[in-house]
A and B are shown apart, each in its own frame.
Chain A
Amino acid sequence: MDFRLTDEQTMLAEAVGALLHDCCSGADLRRLLESGAARDAGRWAQIEAMGLPLMLAPEARGGSGLGMVEMALVAIACGHAALPEPLVEHAGIAVPALVAAGRDVPAGTVAVGHPVNPFVADADTAEALLLADGDAMHLVPRAAVTLVRQDSIDPFRRLFRVDWKPAPATRTGGAALWEAALERGALLAAAQLLGLAQRAVDISVAYTKERQQFGKPIGSFQAVKHHLASAQVKIEFARPVVLAAAALPASSLARARVSHAKLAAQAAADAASHAAVQVHGAMGYSWEVDVHFVLKRALALGQAWGTPGFHRARVAEHMLSAPLGPDRTFDAVPLQQEARSEAA
């Protein structure tokens, strides 16, 4: 038992964090908005150069063969940067689904129309889409569908209703692929929410050290401190849940843990982004500071990949059906009853 990141994992998280810090600042986001482009081509090229889109694909297929813990770390960094490009959905959800279905990963990104989400994100820039027809998963070229744009409050969320006709030739698999995609989608939404939450606190800490009222930085006032400290506590107790959910092999506990991760990270992102608005005062309510980018993404991801109600129900289902207790934290192989009966 060693519940720590490995050095390689820490290095990956730092490298991706540093890359996004450099090329996805608030100023970069604003520039992208002004340009009207869907993506920042330079940034996407850097992301590709790091091999991130194929990080979960096996090495034999040109990928890096990494696992969900690494993917969660990347997603945390993407959340922290409020990254507009669809790295998480492509690399974390579409690619493993294609690999599992034995399909080639097309050049460019693949958007995911999971039945749990009413709209498909980033469909317009995708090469192809994974779409649901009942239980079946279809891989459909972008050119074969009609997209109807749905404006999101998050200016970087490109959502679409997709009109399409299923055909036998595009079928790639069945329900199992969708189920696995949901677990990854919810987990990676949780990871992004965690990154968003930390970003909200980070932006606020910087601001409240600078902003002066009553002749002092507002960060010296206890009410301001407590808003941010309370948000940080929520973050601290969502992070290990996200990482444990990423590390667990598939099981009833793993499903419950994914839902727990989503709920905890959403609560943290909610608390942190609201606290961020509050401690910025009117500034926090304006377009001028970056807080709203974080707030809006958190609002969107909080409902995507299963609403809080959906995930609470999954937790309740596990809680009411599985054996619980302190020896079950890591889904430990149940020990024989022998211990008790021998002693009796």
Chain B
Amino acid sequence: MDIRYTPEEQAFRVEVRRWMAAHVPAQPLPDFDSTREGFEAHRQWERTLHAGGWGMVTWPVEYGGRGLDLIRWLIFEEEYYRAGAPGRVNQNGIFLLGPTLIEYGTPEQKARFLPAMAAGDHIWAQAWSEPGAGSDLAGVRSTAVRDGDDYVLSGHKIWSSRAVHADWAFGLFRAPGSERHKGLSLILFPLDAAGVTVRPIQRLDGKPVFAELFLDNVRVPVANRLGDEGQGWAVCMSTAGFERGLMLRSPARFQVAAAKLVDLYRARAGAADPALGAAVAQAWMDADAYALSIYATASRLMAGGTIGPETSTNKIFWSELDLDLHKTALALLGAEAELTAAAPDASADVGDWLDGYIFSLAGPIYAGANEIQRNIIAERMLGLPR
């Protein structure tokens, strides 16, 4: 164990810090869910990042990455969040589909999809969930019927984040007549293809953050299938592993939020319930513990280990930490907690805390509900019977 950064790692941090200082927009971008304008502003930021070579630092150089190791990825993320850089509108693509493509894609697929993803030309949505298949993802009913060199996709997907404005989506489709985990294929499709209808869904505060997708005989080439026919479940589980386990929520996000929470506590401590101090300290410790745990996982993966049950423990931990952190912030804000950013008397960051709280409510649901993660921990990690 050597928990010091190497001089090279320190130099890398300086390099990222410099670049971020020079490029992060001075004014926050409009949010990417509410309007097309906000979405395109974020696409532009993805292009800026890509031009600087920072689009996806762990990818191989040939696909627009830097081929960096996971410790450097963590350092990059730390500097990214420290600098207050914009949220990644393409996170479904770069963090989830990207690594899956690198693992399972054919050379043609990699060449076709990865550079466009890294450059922000293709912004991706995930199309897993269906109205009748949420936690029980193997219950998806949407079909892919083989017709010559094409698949014909039909069905109904739902809760697809950012699909309102995104360019492409990936999801599971089954061969007609197949059941459960068998006969599923992972297929990539453009959201502007003939037969795709995208209907925005408002989240509980009215923002159109997700969408349902109606697929009516949508034709895509067989070359859009990732992995073998009928092997979609295994491929998609690998994506879910990335999502819960590492890439989706790097610790820096929570560490920056916790530091802001400490500032808020300092600013409001006079008026605050003294018990809130304990909640603030807990949030800070939890963010710190999450970082330590991810560094341990990253160190292990770099030494050739594989990702295991920590995907589920991480998912529970970061989602509960995020929720507690934001609940504590609202408690500190007191009567102002309910003010949206648009309220005339809302001080600078009031609306952001509320927005963060609303978002954190979803954490224990998406990326596999926490109840499901607890089942996985009990059965696969502790070995309890089904």
Contacts and interface: CB of A to CB of B under 8 A. Distances in A.
Contacts of A340: 17, 21
Interface string B293-317: 1011011101100000010010011
Interface stretch (B4-12, B58-66, B218-226): B4-12
B292 A329 contact: yes
B2 interface: yes
A307 to B, nearest CB: 13
> What DSSP secondary structure best describes chain B's contact surface?
helix
Interface centre among A209, A230, A240, A329 (most CB of B within 10 A): A329
Contact of B1 (A3, A228, A230, A319): A3
A193 to B, nearest CB: 15
A230 B299 CA distance: 25
Contacts of B18: 339, 342-343
Nearest to A317: B281
Interface in A291-344: 312, 315-316, 319-320, 324-327, 329-330, 332-333, 335-336, 338-340, 342-344
Contacts of B341: none
Given A6-B1, A327-B79, A228 B285 contact: no
B344 interface: no
B262 interface: yes
A232 B71 contact: no
B384 A237 contact: no
A3 B82 contact: no
B84 to A, nearest CB: 11
Contacts of B77: 326
B276 to A, nearest CB: 11
A244 B3 contact: yes
Given A333-B10, A340-B21, A5 B292 contact: no
B378 A229 contact: yes
A233 B377 contact: yes
A248 interface: yes
B4 to A, nearest CB: 7
Given A209-B385, A340-B21, A228 B82 contact: no
B161 interface: no
B353 to A, nearest CB: 17
B291 A329 contact: yes
A329 B14 CA distance: 16
Nearest to A330: B3
Given A225-B378, A225-B384, A244-B292, A330 B256 contact: no
> What DSSP secondary structure best describes chain A's contact surface?
helix
B385 A326 contact: no
A315 B382 contact: no
Contact of A220 (B259, B381, B386): B386
Contacts of B302: 2
Q: How large is the interface on A (under 10, 10 to 19, 20 to 34, 35 or more residues)?
A: 35 or more
A325 B375 contact: no
Contact of B288 (A222, A241, A339): A241
A3 B262 contact: no
Contact of B21 (A201, A248, A329, A344): A344
Contact of B255 (A5, A325, A330): A325
Interface string A267-279: 0000000000000
A260 B17 contact: no
B252 interface: yes
B350 to A, nearest CB: 21
A335 B6 CA distance: 13
Contact of B292 (A3, A208, A217, A315): A3
B76 to A, nearest CB: 11
Interface in A1-41: 1-6, 9
A330 B4 contact: yes
A319 B379 contact: no
Interface centre among B71, B291, B300 (most CB of A within 10 A): B291
Nearest to A238: B289
Contacts of A228: 378, 382, 384
Given A205-B384, A233-B316, A236-B313, A1 B2 contact: yes
A185 interface: no
Interface string B344-386: 0000000000000000000000000001011101110111111
B286 interface: yes
B317 A4 contact: no
Interface of B: 1-6, 9-10, 13-14, 17-18, 21-22, 71, 77-79, 81-82, 251-252, 255-256, 258-259, 262, 266, 277-278, 280-281, 284-286, 288-293, 295-296, 298-300, 302-303, 310, 313, 316-317, 371, 373-375, 377-379, 381-386
6 contacts: A219-B384, A229-B373, A319-B284, A325-B78, A329-B292, A332-B5
Interface of A: 1-6, 9, 69, 201, 205, 208-209, 216-217, 219-220, 222, 224-226, 228-230, 232-233, 236-241, 243-244, 247-248, 257, 260, 263-264, 312, 315-316, 319-320, 324-327, 329-330, 332-333, 335-336, 338-340, 342-344
